C-alpha cells in the first residue's frame, strides 16, 4: 500500500530588500562598463536601505566579477558615489538623488533607484510597481550618457523611458 502525502504550501514571498538585492545583481550581469576586463574592485555603493546593504554584503561582497571582485560599500553621503561602478539609492534617501546625479555626471556609474519619478529624473534603472508587480524602468538616454552598454535581454524586460 502506498501512502501519499500532499502538502499545501503557501507561496513564500521574499522580503523586498532581498528581491531588490537579487535584481540589482542580475542587472549588473546585463550591463557592460568600459575597462571591465581590468582587474581591481567592482564597487557597489548603497545609499540608505540598511537591509539592502546587508543583503548585498552577505551575498556578494568579495565574490568575483570577471577580473574584478565585488566590494559592497555603505555610502554615508552623496559624494561617496563617485568611487563606485553601481550606486543604489533606496527610497529613504531618494531626496539625495539630485546630489548623486550631479556628482557622477559623465562617469560610467549605473544608478539604481526605488522611487517614483526618478527614472524620468535621470536614474539609469528605477524600480516601479505596476499592477502589484515589481518592474523596472530603464532610462536608455542616461545609460548611454554614462558610457554603459545594456544588453537587449535587459532592455526587453524593462519599461524603457
Does residue 1 have a pLDDT over 70? no
Answer whether residue 44 is part of any domain: yes
Q: Are 122 and 160 in contact (CB under 8 A)?
A: no
What pLDDT, on the 0 to 100 scale, is given for residue 4? 37
pLDDT (tens digit, 9 = 90+) per residue, 71-114? Answer: 999 999 999 999 999 999 999 999 999 999 999 999 999 999 99
Answer whether residue 1 is part of any domain: no
What pLDDT, on the 0 to 100 scale, is given for residue 56? 97
CATH classification of the domain holding 37: 3.40.50.2300
What pLDDT, on the 0 to 100 scale, is given for residue 7? 36
- The tally of domains found in the chain comes to 1
Extract the C-alpha cell encoding 117.
Answer: 519619478
Extract the C-alpha cell encoding 161.
Answer: 523611458
Answer whether residue 7 is part of any domain: no
What pLDDT, on the 0 to 100 scale, is given for residue 16? 87
Answer whether residue 4 is part of any domain: no
Answer whether residue 34 is part of any domain: yes
What pLDDT, on the 0 to 100 scale, is given for residue 133? 87
Answer whether residue 74 is part of any domain: yes
Which whole-number Å values give the CA distances from 48 to 24, 105, 111, 118, in the listed order?
Answer: 15, 20, 14, 15
What pLDDT, on the 0 to 100 scale, is given for residue 8? 33
More confident residue, 6 or 134: 134
pLDDT (tens digit, 9 = 90+) per residue, 11-57? Answer: 347 888 999 999 999 999 999 999 887 889 999 999 999 999 999 99
Cα dihedral value 118, 55, 22, 148, nearest 10 = 50
Q: Are 150 and 140 in contact (CB under 8 A)?
A: yes
Answer whether residue 2 is part of any domain: no
What are the DSSP calls for 66-106, one per residue? TTEEEEEEE-SSGGGGGG-SEEEE-GGGGGGHHHHHHHHTT
Q: Rounded CA gap, 12 and 44, in Å?
A: 28
What is the span of the domain harbouring residue 110? 16-160
What pLDDT, on the 0 to 100 scale, is given for residue 2? 37
Answer whether residue 152 is part of any domain: yes
Which whole-number Å values give the CA distances from 70 to 34, 51, 125, 132, in the listed order?
Answer: 16, 18, 20, 32
Amino acid at each position: 500500500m502506498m501512502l501519499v502525502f500532499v502538502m499545501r504550501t503557501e507561496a513564500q514571498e521574499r522580503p523586498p530588500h532581498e528581491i531588490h538585492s537579487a535584481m540589482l545583481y542580475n542587472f549588473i550581469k546585463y550591463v557592460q562598463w568600459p575597462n571591465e576586463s581590468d582587474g581591481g574592485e567592482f564597487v557597489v555603493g548603497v545609499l540608505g536601505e540598511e537591509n539592502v546593504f546587508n543583503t548585498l554584503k552577505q551575498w556578494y561582497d568579495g565574490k568575483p566579477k570577471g577580473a574584478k571582485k565585488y566590494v559592497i560599500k555603505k555610502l554615508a553621503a552623496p559624494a561617496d558615489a563617485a568611487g563606485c561602478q553601481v550606486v543604489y539609492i533606496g527610497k529613504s534617501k531618494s531626496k539625495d538623488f539630485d546630489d548623486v546625479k550631479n556628482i557622477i555626471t559623465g562617469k560610467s556609474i549605473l544608478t539604481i533607484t526605488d522611487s517614483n519619478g526618478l527614472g524620468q529624473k535621470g536614474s539609469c534603472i528605477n524600480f516601479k510597481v505596476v499592477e502589484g508587480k515589481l518592474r523596472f524602468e530603464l532610462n536608455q538616454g542616461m545609460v548611454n550618457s554614462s558610457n554603459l552598454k545594456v544588453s537587449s535581454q535587459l532592455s526587453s524586460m524593462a519599461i524603457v523611458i
